[in-house]
Structure 1
Amino acid sequence: MGGLLGPDFPGDIGLAVSGGGDSMAMLTLAHNWTRVWGVRLWVVTIDHGLRRESATEAAMVAQECAALGWPHATVKWHWDGSGNLQDAARQARLDLIDRWRGVLRHVLMAHTKDDLSETFLMRFKRGSGVDGLSAMRDRREIHGAGSAAALEENEFLGELPPQSGFREAREMQSDSFEVLRPCLSMRREDLRHYLTVLKTPWAEDPSNLDPKYERVRVRQSLPDLDRLGLSVDLIAETAKRLRRAQEALQQRAVQVWRDIGHEGRTEYARTGDILLTRSGFDGVERETQLRLLAAGLQYVSSAPYRPRAEPLEALLDRLLGGGGGTLHGCECRAEKEQLRIFREEKPLKNLTSPDPQHGFWDQRWRIPAPLPDGAQIRNLGDEGWRLIENKRDTAIPYHAARSLPAVWKGDVLLACDAFGVGPGGGLALWPHGRAGHSFARFLLSH
């Protein structure tokens, strides 16, 4: 913890504790550490409701926190059945922690050296490159996915961290928080031995023994790999070396970005596009080209993950040949002097703001002021393009303009900030358009 946050520790820190052996050990270790440093802990358990035992396990964590003297909250999640369950649960966990944390800036998670090694092997099997095989960071910044709304009373049970100034703190400081992983150098078996000695309870998730899950199969193969000399420690050290290589490649990409790239904007507002000078981009080594393209696609689409390697390589080849294509919710085009990465229009066709008063549109566009009655956010589209009178005076081409957000009331275009239509101030980039959330910073953190 000294290496992660010291020497001036924050007064309050969050912990995500599921009730499993790793997280219960982290809770106990943190409890003993705070007695020396005077840090207050706030504990959260995300109950995904996917197993009948989950509520009992959350209650066990709450009981242990009460015995240790720390406030605890159980936050419930209900899967809507869409998408991949594990991906949905992982993203929901981060979103709910973001809403639970109030003004806390740091949340501990109990990933171990075993988790690191298992992830390495799973990604190695998929043919991942340097980024996929790099060790997970012991600290990672998580940017808000567009929802800064505090939890409702029916969404949690227990006590929340300080919520006063919840929205104001995020407006003035940052919408992001940091995940800290203080147990990455520890083995799972050592943490369970620690719990056994201290007679601390923990719960065993039966799915951790179910071979239908890839991670379980990898975990069960580790003893065989160890006999071949491929130990968990060796795998973890290899992943750390690849992390250093990744950091060097990230720095190179940032340097190139600052030389040949910029974020799209007009004299009125940001457009959210990523623009790269073709003459400069063509002369850059392929690894950096792929890194800039992948980050640009993820940045513009607000996707949680990078695009897969094979379609990314194919798209790069088309761009270098003067063409373009769609990928990861974005469209890319080789224009006369620059490459443009912009939001694909098709996914936005029927997308409107879920909360027109204080809502978000397409995850990255925030509405800071109440909209007029009956108004909503939609993309500009062909209809809006026809209504823009000064479209030839800006640098926004037709193919990129159609996906821009606009304020509509029926068929009447009330505002489109990028073209200076309307009173202005109606829309602001979320989250990357805020101070400190530039594309260069995004390159360094993804």
Structure 2
Amino acid sequence: MQLSRFQQIIGRPAWPETLAEPERLGIAVSGGGDSVALLHGLAEHFPAARLHVVTVDHGLRAASAQEAAGVAALCARLGLPHRVLRWQGWDGQGNLQDAARRARRRLIADWARTEGLSAVALGHTRDDQAETLLMRLERGSGVDGLAAMAPESRSDGITWLRPLLAVGRADLRRYLAAIGADWVEDPSNEDTRFARVRARHAIATLGLRAERLAETAQAMARARAALAHLAHETAQRIARVQGGDVLFDAAGLAVSPEETRLRLLAHALCWVSSAEYRPRLQALQAAHEAARQGRRRTLHGCLLLPEGPRLRICREPAAVAAQSCAAPGPWDGRWVVQGPWEPGDRLAPLGETGLAQCENRHVTGMPRASLLASPALWRGETLLCAPLAGHGPAGAIGLLGGEAGFFASILSH
């Protein structure tokens, strides 16, 4: 079997055998060395008809449009379809790199779904693993934060693949030089205002080895998997889902190991609120302590409601008061219309106005706070159904993934 140029130079294939090969694959290419090497390597490995390339132009530098055009020209030479997506959402507030990353991921996911692509390959390397470990270590992250990026993950309805996690950044540039390929260096990669740049410099200054740091991140990933399995087993005994709320046996939660208890609480808060990130540790500990003492607390867009022997985690009504979307949804990231609906119908919270129309609201046994934040189908100002408040058909609005989704997602996060 003839080896590709990538495999000859790097010593390994561009696509690891451990990753399944999708029928059609999206590739995110910025024009930097890592993603350009990924593009060339995958173009050697896959038939051109299977590949689709996308570049996100954040518009934060004068040269960004020119760099996107350079990727387009490269794709034209390789015979690959290419699309440029432009981000115009930066308001100058908050963490620029985090905002850009979130926007990039959202734009790429939307593009992939439009193109009918189920998977997108990213150019993260072994050096990215090492830098991420140091960044999160400085922030005081626990096991989850220190765990390595996975070669395969799923979010926003897309499978994200990282085939180069075992390859060093220098090796990729050696490969590009050998095949005569050009790439651009983002000047922000030398801007020490950014935590990743400082981590990169620290690795070089201290003489740390990226491969050793990446091995530590892999060890943390194994530890995270073990802790997730313990949390999953515990949840099977002490947790259940009622109408989108998570109910814990308070006594069972209290006697669980602290790591398991905090992991389950954080996961429940994220699952109920559809949040990407966990709440901060101190806030989580304080909220649970208040709930343990019988006091209601608000955290992460949710309410922690003590109910005697149970602790309920439900959506906070104020967090969804302004949320509305066209049927069939999803609304609030997890509710969809499963019964009849017409164009113009919308999903929105039940709220006080809707709850007053639900004569059977006590039948479901859910507390008022849960019902106020529960999904309802509206036609103009007319309430069509609110299943969790006993109004309309019981299955007219459904929870994505159902109760099983809560337990399964403990293992997948």
User: How big is the shift at 1:26?
Assistant: 0.7
Alignment partner of 1:390: what SS? coil
Work out whether 1:107 is the aligned partner of 2:120: yes
Q: Which residue of 2 aligns with 1:158?
A: none
User: What is the distance in 1 between the residues matched to 2:86 and 2:65?
Assistant: 9
User: What is the distance in 2 between the residues matched to 1:64 and 1:326?
Assistant: 51
User: What is the distance in 1 between the residues matched to 2:407 and 2:255?
Assistant: 20
User: What is the distance in 1 between the residues matched to 2:401 and 2:334?
Assistant: 10
Tell me if structure 2 keeps the 8 A contact 1:358–1:369: no
One-letter amino acid of the structure 1 residue matched with residue 412 of structure 2? S
Tell me if structure 2 keeps the 8 A contact 1:294–1:312: yes
Q: Which residue of 2 aligns with 1:294?
A: 266
Tell me if structure 2 keeps the 8 A contact 1:261–1:275: yes
Q: Which runs of 5+ in 1 are unaligned?
A: 145-175, 265-270
User: What is the distance in 2 between the residues matched to 1:231 and 1:336?
Assistant: 53
User: What is the distance in 2 between the residues matched to 1:212 and 1:374?
Assistant: 47
Matches within 5 A, 1:46-445: 46-79=56-89, 81=91, 84-101=95-112, 102-142=115-155, 144=156, 176-226=157-207, 230-264=208-242, 271-353=243-325, 356-357=326-327, 359-367=329-337, 376-409=346-379, 412-422=382-392, 426-429=396-399, 433-434=400-401, 438-445=405-412
Alignment partner of 2:18: what SS? helix
User: How big is the shift at 1:370?
Assistant: 7.9
Alignment partner of 1:221: what SS? helix
User: How big is the shift at 1:278?
Assistant: 1.8
Q: Which residue of 1 aligns with 2:8?
A: none
Q: Which residue of 1 aligns with 2:40?
A: 28
One-letter amino acid of the structure 1 residue matched with residue 103 of structure 2? A
One-letter amino acid of the structure 2 residue matched with residue 57 of structure 1? E
Deviates more, 1:26-35 or 1:180-189: 26-35
Tell me if structure 1 keeps the 8 A contact 2:328–2:346: no
Return closer, same or farther for 1:22/1:358 CA change in 2, 3 Å cut-off.
same
User: How big is the shift at 1:309?
Assistant: 1.3
User: What is the distance in 2 between the residues matched to 1:28 and 1:138?
Assistant: 19
Tell me if structure 1 keeps the 8 A contact 2:327–2:336: no
Return closer, same or farther for 1:214/1:301 CA change in 2, 3 Å cut-off.
same
Q: CA RMSD, aligned part only?
A: 2.3
One-letter amino acid of the structure 2 residue matched with residue 438 of structure 1? G
Tell me if structure 1 keeps the 8 A contact 2:253–2:261: yes
User: What is the distance in 2 between the residues matched to 1:28 and 1:52?
Assistant: 26
User: How big is the shift at 1:233?
Assistant: 1.8
One-letter amino acid of the structure 2 residue matched with residue 95 of structure 1? R
Q: Which residue of 1 aligns with 2:53?
A: 43
Q: Which residue of 2 aligns with 1:148?
A: none
Q: Which residue of 2 aligns with 1:4?
A: 18
Tell me if structure 1 keeps the 8 A contact 2:327–2:347: no
User: What is the distance in 2 between the residues matched to 1:80 and 1:121?
Assistant: 27
Q: Which residue of 2 aligns with 1:155?
A: none
Q: Deviations over 1:113-155 (max 9, x none)?
A: 111111111111111100011111111111x3xxxxxxxxxxx
Tell me if structure 2 keeps the 8 A contact 1:10–1:39: no
Return closer, same or farther for 1:254/1:39 CA change in 2, 3 Å cut-off.
farther
Alignment partner of 1:4: what SS? coil
User: What is the distance in 1 between the residues matched to 2:324 and 2:274?
Assistant: 16
User: What is the distance in 2 between the residues matched to 1:98 and 1:42?
Assistant: 13
Provide TM-score, normalisation by structure 2.
0.89
Tell me if structure 1 keeps the 8 A contact 2:238–2:248: yes
User: What is the distance in 2 between the residues matched to 1:374 and 1:220?
Assistant: 54
User: What is the distance in 2 between the residues matched to 1:404 and 1:116?
Assistant: 40
User: What is the distance in 1 between the residues matched to 2:277 and 2:381?
Assistant: 36
Q: Deviations over 1:204-226 (max 9, x none)?
A: 11111111112111211211221
Return closer, same or farther for 1:376/1:294 CA change in 2, 3 Å cut-off.
same
User: What is the distance in 1 between the residues matched to 2:404 and 2:239?
Assistant: 16
User: What is the distance in 2 between the residues matched to 1:184 and 1:255?
Assistant: 31
Aligned positions, number: 396
